[in-house]
Amino acid sequence: MRDFDEFTVTEAAVARVRQAPDPRVREISEALVRHLHAFVREVEPSFEEWQQGIEFLTRTGQMCDDKRQEFILLSDTLGVSMLVDAINHRGAEGATETTILGPFYVDAAPEAPLGAKISAGMAGEPLLVTGSIASSDGRPLAGAVIDVWHSDDDGYYDVQHLEEVGGLALRARFRAGEGGRFHFWTIKPKAYPIPHDGPVGRMLAAQGRHPWRPAHVHFMIEAPQHRKLVTHVFVAGDAYLDSDAVFGVKESLIRELEPLPAGVAPDGTTVDRPYFHLYYDFALTPEREARGAA
């Protein structure tokens, strides 16, 4: 077929990708062509706008390295990451809701005993974090592995200024104790902007959007025969809860930080200054239920 026009080129392109031997590649390729062509027909870009789009994607790729993934940032800020997360966690009845992993997870977080202080002497208001890990049917999951990480008092993560911090801080890996319970000490997290010095930041500015995320603590929890849980617990009252730049907030994940006076804390620690307490009970989906939902 020759002489393609705006009405015939889409079907011609779809026909070409239908030759893919892998059924899933064929399905994805056909859908990509159809939706991409529909987008172009809707917005009718000029040649100058088309070129700007190509340049935007080029700069996005050039911004990526082993410390920064600008394409994931683009996915996050367009709501695609949360859409993929939602599709992959359908039917998780009784389990804690999920949200995106975020760019600051570190696989080599230091292991720490329950009750440890993970702030590494960094300035900030003390925060006691307590809670429990259970299966969605209520069975406690002693021994569950709990990765935690969050921003500092200035809204930065340790990996953003490792030399200044002197190493990893405000992150650790714990194992739930008896009854699936856990506790540790840290400092209050603060709201922070996602990296916005690149093409994604310029896109947000052009769209009239801010780059801020509300204050939260990240949790990644694993237990045998259960689906891994990746989620945040957000600080109630934060100014950005209703405008999170990456669409990660869910009502069930918001908790108050209870202000408490100096004295003996719920975990038995004697504290010489006022502090805050965050409590959350997490529930994981058994693998058999996850397979059934899928």
Q: In this predicted structure, what is the pLDDT of residue 149? A: 97
Q: What angle do CA 70, 71, 77 make, to 5 degrees?
A: 90
4-8, 25-29, 125-129, 236-240: the lowest-pLDDT one:
4-8
Q: Which of 35-49, 60-74, 203-217 has the lowest mean pLDDT?
A: 60-74
CB 257 within 8 A of CB 276: yes
What average pLDDT does range 17-25 have in this prediction? 97
Q: What digits encode the pLDDT tens for the residues 81-114?
A: 999 999 999 877 899 999 999 888 888 899 999 9
Q: Is residue 200 a contact partner of residue 164, using CB atoms and an 8 Å limit?
A: no
Q: From start to end of the chain, where are the E strands?
A: 126-135, 145-150, 171-175, 181-187, 192-193, 212-213, 216-222, 229-235, 254-255, 258-260, 263-264, 270-271, 275-284
- Taking the complete model, does pTM exceed 0.75, yes or no? yes
Residue 293 pLDDT greater than 60, yes or no: no
Residue 184 has pLDDT above 80, yes or no: yes
Q: Is residue 64's pLDDT more than 90?
A: yes
Average pLDDT of the chain, as a whole number: 94
Distances from the Cα of 67 to the Cαs of 45, 105, 120, in angstroms?
Answer: 34, 11, 23
For domain 80-293, the CATH architecture is Sandwich (2.60)
Residue 290: the pLDDT is 57
Q: Do 221 and 144 contact (CB within 8 A), yes or no?
A: yes
Helix then strand count (H, E) for the chain reads 8, 13
For residues 167 and 161, give the distance between their C-alpha atoms in angstroms, rounded to a whole number.
9
Residue in the structure block whose two tokens are 């359908």: 90
Tell me what percent of the residues of the chain surpass a pLDDT of 90. 83
Q: Which positions ≥6 away from 59 have C-beta within 8 Å?
A: 198, 199
Residue partners of 257: CB distance under 8 A and separation at least 6: 127, 188, 235, 236, 276, 277, 278
Please determine, for residue 291, whether its predicted confidence score (pLDDT) is greater than 60.
Answer: no
Tens of pLDDT, residue by residue over 188-222, are 999 999 999 999 999 999 999 999 999 999 999 99
Separation between Cα atoms, residue 120 and residue 171, nearest integer Å: 10
